[in-house]
Amino acid sequence: MAKIKLEYIWLDGYKPTQNLRSKTKVEEHENFQGTVEELGDWSFDGSSTKQAEGGSSDCLLKPVAIYPDPARINGYLVMTEVYNADGTPHESNGRATIDDDDNDFWFGFEQEYFLMDSRTQLPLGFPIGGYPGPQGMYYCSVGGKNTWGRDLVEEHADLCIDAGLNFEGINQEVAPGQWEFQLFAKGAKKAGDEIWIARYLLDRLTEKHHYYIEYHPKPVKGDWNGSGMHANFSNTILRECGSADKYAEICEAFRPVTKEHIEVYGEYNDERLTGLHETAAITDFSWGVSDRGASIRIPIIAVEKGYKGWLEDRRPASNADPYKIAARIIKTVKPIK
């Protein structure tokens, strides 16, 4: 019998921005195969995470995905959903609201973030008491003059790949200390699982580097790009329709529910969606081919393939919940036939 470490990971009940929580269960297994079916439910004190009252504080953790933990011997990362004691999904459980049981919707998320120095509480590359040079030279840069944090970013990429995530790339972003990684999955729930696991690995990694991650969409005021989490999405219609009119119909379906989307696209997003810095204003809705200043961009590759591909919703903020983003996009797009 081998002992294995199972890191149960969940989202807490803080509003409007939830946080990752986790705890370790050590179990003995014989010939463990690393599947969700081999795992049992667990519980936690919901009164400590704003998910229950002290007099009835037990909340349930139901495993939904499992990945090898590359930083631990015999370790696994277990993504879970939070349920009430009566077996119903907790109100904080965004994953349970996703209507994509057939995995028809595919999502690729572009997660931007700032690497912060925990000693100065400034982004890497920002001098104490001042500002670096204006943005322009930092995007996809190389060399110590314009690039900070590559050691951690590379280590994080390796951890994600070793964990079996469908990790698709990294790049430094427009501001000093600002980075991005990309993940793709066939199935909205799987895409959300992988973003949260990747965030967990990133946050845990900062503990040994004296850094922390800032997911606020505009942590540095001024003439700097904010941080988003662009949501690239498709379903069978978008992948196969071959129709500019159908793409237009889908884009226009977002217009009357702009408010409903913005409500789940992240806290402080109004500071980022100003109409400047490659964003549309939060009060507007627009779409266009290859337009990074639009709310929704039709990628030029999809057009070149005869309107067969995907769309990019550029509005979600870096601190948004990918489960809630996916659920809202699916609710808007799925009725269109």
Q: Identify whether residues 111 and 168 lie together within a single domain.
A: yes
pLDDT at 214: 97
Q: Identify whether residues 55 and 191 lie together within a single domain.
A: no
pLDDT at 270: 95
pLDDT at 220: 86
pLDDT at 2: 86
Which stretch of DSSP H or E encloses residue 253?
helix 244-253
- The residue among 34, 64, 93 that closes a domain is 93
Q: Identify whether residues 58 and 202 lie together within a single domain.
A: no
Assess if residue 101 is contained within a domain: no
Assess if residue 327 is contained within a domain: yes
pLDDT at 129: 85
Q: Identify whether residues 116 and 22 lie together within a single domain.
A: no
pTM for the full model?
0.96
pLDDT at 276: 82
Q: Identify whether residues 30 and 54 lie together within a single domain.
A: yes
CATH of the domain at 324: 3.30.590.10
Q: Identify whether residues 185 and 260 lie together within a single domain.
A: yes
pLDDT at 257: 98
The domain total for the chain is: 2
Kindly report the backbone phi and psi dihedral angles of residue 200, in degrees, each rounded to the nearest multiple of 5, phi listed first. Answer: -60, -50
Q: Identify whether residues 61 and 117 lie together within a single domain.
A: no
CATH of the domain at 83: 3.10.20.70
- The residue among 93, 126, 156 that closes a domain is 93
Q: Identify whether residues 170 and 213 lie together within a single domain.
A: yes
- The residue among 70, 93, 116 that closes a domain is 93
Write out the residue range of the structural domain in which residue 58 sits: 2-93
Per DSSP, which regions of the chain are E strands?
2-11, 20-29, 42-45, 58-68, 75-83, 106-117, 122-123, 167-172, 178-186, 211-214, 229-234, 287-289, 296-298, 311-313
Q: State the residue for tokens 């030029």.
A: 300
Q: Could you state, in chain order, the average pLDDT of each consecutive group of 10 residues for the chain (337 residues)?
A: 94 97 96 96 96 88 98 97 96 98 97 96 92 91 96 98 98 96 98 98 95 95 90 98 98 98 97 87 94 95 98 98 98 97
